[in-house]
Amino acid sequence: MSALKNFQNIIIGSVVAAGIALGGFFISKTLYNAKVALNTAEAKGLAERRVQADRANWSIGFSVSGKSRDEVPELYRKAEGIQERLKSILKESGFEDGEIKVGIIDYGSRQYRNEDQILTDEDHFLNGSISVETDKVAAVAPARGVVNKLISEGISITNRTPKYSFTGLNEIKPEMLREATKNARIAANEFASNAQVEVGGIHTARQGSFFVRDAGSESSDSHKIEKDVRVVTTITFFLTD
């Protein structure tokens, strides 16, 4: 019995010792992690790209007007004639049927009366529009110039400003994020050099939003063909002695 009791005491002692040792490992590990978490530096990295718009949206308005309701049928024929001329100009400029959308022709009228509510004048008018959505961005400006020449013929044209957009953002995102991360590490290394420590791996990373703006503008994003794409990442790096 004495030998068995001694063996049991040895087993119990070994288990207790192992428990203390294991507990000490987790305590020291926790303290080590806490210490490392404090030894970090946060840095921002910027990446920029100059790109070309790859999509254009452009619309043209036109109108005809007369002084009598009886003129409306003739006005409609004139409106259809202008519509066809615009379509021809657009096709001659390189745009295809699938890129050209012809709007409906709307009718409207206004009446003018004196203080006695007697009709003194009236206007009858028809308004139409044609829009273009295309990836032939460079063809838009020359076509606008040709359309404007219709004004010299007395045709009422509203040549609206095109809107240019860049749709290839997803294609350049990965490379820009790598560049932003690289620039953040450069900034962190500058800090670490002054502090006489070294930059280690990434602790946390926050990606900022991608912004697409007209080249040289901080607000507009649709007026110019040239665009600036920008992203800023915020990265926390581990620091080591």
Backbone angles phi, psi at 210, to 5 degrees: -85, 135
Shared domain for 62 and 161, answered yes or no, is yes
Considering the domain architecture, whether residues 129 and 186 belong to the same structural domain is answered as: no
Could you tell me the residue range of the domain that residue 173 belongs to? 38-54+166-241
Q: How many domains is the chain built from?
A: 2
Phi, psi of 179 (to 5 degrees): -65, -40
The answer to the question of residue 20 being in a domain is no
For 158-201, write each residue's pLDDT tens digit. Answer: 999 999 999 999 999 999 999 999 999 999 998 888 888 999 99
How far is it, in rounded angstroms, from Cα 43 to Cα 184? 5
Question: How far apart, in whole angstroms, are the C-alpha atoms of residue 75 and residue 229?
Answer: 48
Q: Are residues 119 and 182 in the same domain?
A: no
- Whether the per-residue pLDDT at 15 is higher than 60: the answer is no
pLDDT of residue 38: 55
pLDDT of residue 220 exceeding 60, the answer is yes
Tokens 């009718």, residue located: 107
The verdict on residue 1 lying in a domain is: no
pLDDT at 127 over 90: yes
Domain boundary, last residue among 100, 132, 165: 165
Q: Are residues 221 and 147 in the same domain?
A: no
Give residue-wise pLDDT tens across range 64-120: 999 999 999 999 999 999 999 999 999 999 999 999 999 999 999 998 989 989 888
CA 114 – CA 29 distance, rounded (Å): 93
Residue 1: pLDDT above 50?
A: no
Choose the final residue of a domain: 145, 165, 185: 165
Cα–chain center distance at 211:
6
- pLDDT, tens digit (0-9, with 9 covering 90-100), for 21-57: 333 222 223 233 444 445 888 999 999 999 999 999 9
Same domain, 63 and 150: yes
Q: How far is CA 27 from the centre of its chain?
A: 49
Separation CA 178–CA 185 (nearest Å) = 11
The residues pairing with 123 across neighbouring beta strands, listed in sequence order, are 110
For residue 17, is pLDDT > 90? no
Write down how long the chain is: 241
> What token pair was written down for 109?
């009228």
Q: Is 44 in a helix, a strand, or coil?
A: strand
Mention every residue, 6+ apart, whose C-beta is less than 8 A from residue 131: 57, 58, 59, 60, 100, 101, 103
Half-sphere exposure of 138 (CA within 13 A, CB side): 1
* Residue 19 counted as domain residue: no
Query: In the predicted model, is pLDDT for residue 126 greater than 60?
Result: yes
The pair phi, psi for residue 64, each rounded to 5°, is -135, 150
CATH number reported for the structural domain that contains residue 64 in this entry: 3.30.70.360
Q: What is the value of pTM for the model shown?
A: 0.75
Alpha carbon 178 to chain centroid distance?
A: 19
Give the contacts of 14 (CB within 8 A, at least 6 positions apart): none
